[in-house]
Amino acid sequence: MRPNIVSEASVSTRLNQWWEGIPFVTSAVVAVCATIYLICLFIGYDSFAEICFLPSTVLSQFQVYRIYTSVLFHGSFLHVFFNMLALVPLGSELERIMGSVRLLYTMLLLALSNAGLHLLIAILVAYNPIYPYPDPMIQCSIGFSGILFSMIVMETNLSGVQSRSVFGLFNVPTKWYPWILLVVFQLLMTNVSLLGHLCGILSGFAYTYGLFNILIPGTNFFSGIENSSWLSTCVRRPKFILCTGGNPSGYIPTHTSPNTTSSGPPTTDLWNRLSSLMPQRDVSSQ
């Protein structure tokens, strides 16, 4: 009698299955950050002062591009590795709830709000009349961790659990989880941006409490983007999640409440006008 033979998938197969299970925008951010790091490594680029978020330069020279370049660049392999390792579960869960386009919009909004808060706090600390402390104005910050802290706040708000484990060592109340992580990272790691992480937490709470609702369009706006011809190739990919195809049980605040009809026609018309100005191309169906 022939013995039963159980074949196991190879490491490459498992990695491929794991990668294919990561939604579109989350995997795209991972790929972009990893690619940027590898390019910097191969060409020897380390002039991070040119692309980091530097409050003094943003304020004096209005280099607003630093708001987004600073989140895509990382200073070391461990920096990008652990940030992307944290992004995969956080981004995947939120993307399945919100949809791919909405998550991308949210990331851009969080990067902007983090930078705004960072700049505001740095100015207040540096120029306060009681005890001026100029260091925050000249600190150079890079990395995706500010947005990650915002996403941690959003995810804990959605989880519904009463406590969270900190690295499997001890449990803390869910509402304190982001703050405990802030303190732990600050104590255990060097060259960590306390202000960048703090602003990420504040932005996350502002989002979950609905303070950004006026800046977040309704579902019809995102549907208009998804239905545009220039995005059709991405939308057809299995990893892409439509904004109407998420998990309705995990509602995240948006400009409209989940029980009311979205004020969609104005935003949809606006998107249609914008898309009409873009070059159109014929896309064959697969």
Active site residues: 145, 197
Evaluate whether 239 touches 22 at the Cβ level (below 8 Å): yes
CB within 8 A of 263, min separation 6: which ones?
218, 255, 256
* Residue 210 to residue 189: CA distance in whole angstroms: 32
* Residue 51 to residue 67: CA distance in whole angstroms: 9
What distances in angstroms separate CA 248 from CA 243, 245, 251, 261, 264, one per listed residue? Answer: 10, 8, 6, 15, 19
Side-chain half-sphere of 26: how many Cα atoms within 13 Å?
28
